[in-house]
């Protein structure tokens, strides 16, 4: 089987890129490295490789969640291709579902891991169609993601602190969004307002916030978490619980959160709004998120 490591040279601090190349140096002709040149280049390259080769091939997304998204889009629809991850991004949230970054850092483990499958999320919006592997978020969350993109390479406020920086900014600028959310045809917010919404395949987002603690990446359903507008005092009191993923079992959240599973989610905003797709930000007035079951063959080593 051919193994191709797709490296995003701008992921994280850049240190992981050098470490990975050193590990691959003497592994032989079945191992190749490709460095991306810009947005969506990973998807185009993976599709090209899939079209040119008919034998088994596995791609490794070497970057953060955005790189995972792009590689998955390239593998989608290619029956002889699978994928995995070598996490060197600043967030690496998707792999937290499988036990965290360290599970994927041993080359021998990740290249010999057996294939399973993962669902992915198909997004149809005003501007077209795209996909998400981990989460689609809107309202407060998408504002936070947009801030993260701006500060992720800055000292102190960036890196692993980028999500916290985004939250602090959002507390003053993005506490309420006007729009309606439907899950499998059912309206979830009669008031027409929300603070944040998450449509999740994986369990974590934002560098470690366990927004969807009951997620399963191959159950054919999406997790939907909708939070009503809150005061700053309430956010400060409850955010630590939300980060740990204990919000579904804490009675203090009952009047603030709607959490359920669904196959199709429709969102209509009163005005064009940002939505986040594994860190990528697009602006739209309406979108549909729908699960594609077992869409991609995905290899994850077993956590010891």
Tens-of-pLDDT digits for all 304 residues of the chain?
Answer: 999 999 998 876 555 667 777 777 777 778 899 999 999 999 999 999 999 988 999 999 999 999 999 999 999 999 999 999 999 887 899 999 999 999 999 999 999 999 999 999 999 999 899 999 999 999 987 888 788 878 877 888 887 788 788 888 888 888 899 999 999 999 999 999 999 999 999 999 887 889 999 999 999 999 999 999 999 899 889 989 999 999 999 999 999 999 999 999 999 999 999 899 998 899 999 999 999 999 999 999 987 5
State which H helix or E strand residue 236 sits in.
helix 232-244
pLDDT of residue 13: 57
The alpha carbon of 125 is separated from its chain's Cα centroid by a whole number of angstroms, namely 18
Residue 55 phi/psi, 5° resolution?
Answer: -85, 170
- Walk me through the domains of the chain, giving residue ranges and CATH numbers: 2-118+295-299 (3.40.50.10330), 123-294 (2.60.200.40)
pLDDT of residue 172: 81
HSE-up of 137 (CA within 13 Å, CB side)?
A: 27
pLDDT of residue 145: 77
pLDDT of residue 304: 59
pLDDT of residue 49: 96
Q: Are 198 and 222 in contact (CB under 8 A)?
A: no
Query: What tokens does 258 get?
Result: 């709607």
pLDDT of residue 29: 73
pLDDT tens-digit profile of 145-181? 788 878 877 888 887 788 788 888 888 888 899 999 9
Predicted model pTM: 0.90
Q: Are 278 and 65 in contact (CB under 8 A)?
A: yes
Coil, strand or helix: which one is 75? helix
Please choose, from the candidates 202, 204, 205, 199, the residue with its C-alpha nearest in 3D space to the C-alpha of residue 183.
199
pLDDT of residue 144: 81
Q: Are 289 and 263 in contact (CB under 8 A)?
A: no
User: Which residues in 188-299 belong to E strands, given as ranges?
Assistant: 193-194, 196-200, 222-227, 257-262, 264-277, 280-299
Angle of the 140-151 helix axis to the 162-173 helix axis, nearest 10: 130
pLDDT of residue 71: 98
The Cα 120–Cα 34 span in angstroms is: 24
The Cα 41–Cα 4 span in angstroms is: 14
């Amino acid at each position: 089987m051919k193994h191709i490591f797709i490296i995003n040279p701008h992921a994280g601090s850049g240190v992981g890129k050098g470490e990975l190349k050193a590990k691959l140096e003497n592994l032989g002709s079945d191992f190749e490295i490709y460095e991306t040149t810009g947005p969506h280049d990973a998807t185009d390259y993976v599709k090209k490789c899939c079209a040119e080769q008919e034998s088994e091939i596995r791609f490794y997304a070497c970057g953060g969640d955005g790189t995972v998204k792009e590689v998955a889009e390239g593998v989608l629809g290619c029956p002889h291709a699978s994928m995995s991850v070598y996490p060197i991004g600043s967030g690496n949230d998707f792999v937290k579902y499988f036990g965290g970054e360290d599970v994927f850092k041993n080359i021998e483990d990740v290249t010999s891991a057996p294939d399973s499958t993962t669902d992915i999320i198909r997004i149809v919006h005003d501007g077209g169609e795209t996909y998400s592997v981990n989460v689609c978020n809107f309202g407060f969350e998408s504002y936070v993601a947009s801030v993260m993109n701006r500060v992720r390479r800055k000292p102190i406020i960036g890196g692993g602190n980028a999500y916290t920086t985004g939250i602090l900014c959002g507390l003053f600028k993005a506490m309420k969004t006007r729009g309606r959310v439907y899950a499998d045809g059912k309206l979830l917010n009669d008031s027409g307002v929300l603070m944040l919404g998450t449509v999740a395949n994986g369990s974590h987002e934002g560098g470690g916030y366990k927004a969807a603690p009951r997620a399963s990446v191959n159950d054919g359903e999406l997790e939907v978490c909708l939070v009503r507008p809150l005061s700053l005092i309430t956010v400060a009191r409850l955010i630590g619980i939300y980060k740990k993923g204990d919000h579904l079992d804490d009675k203090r959240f009952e009047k603030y959160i709607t959490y359920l599973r669904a196959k199709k989610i429709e969102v209509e905003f009163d005005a064009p709004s940002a939505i986040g797709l594994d860190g990528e930000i697009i602006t739209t007035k309406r979108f549909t998120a729908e699960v594609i079951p077992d869409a991609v063959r995905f290899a994850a080593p077993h956590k010891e």
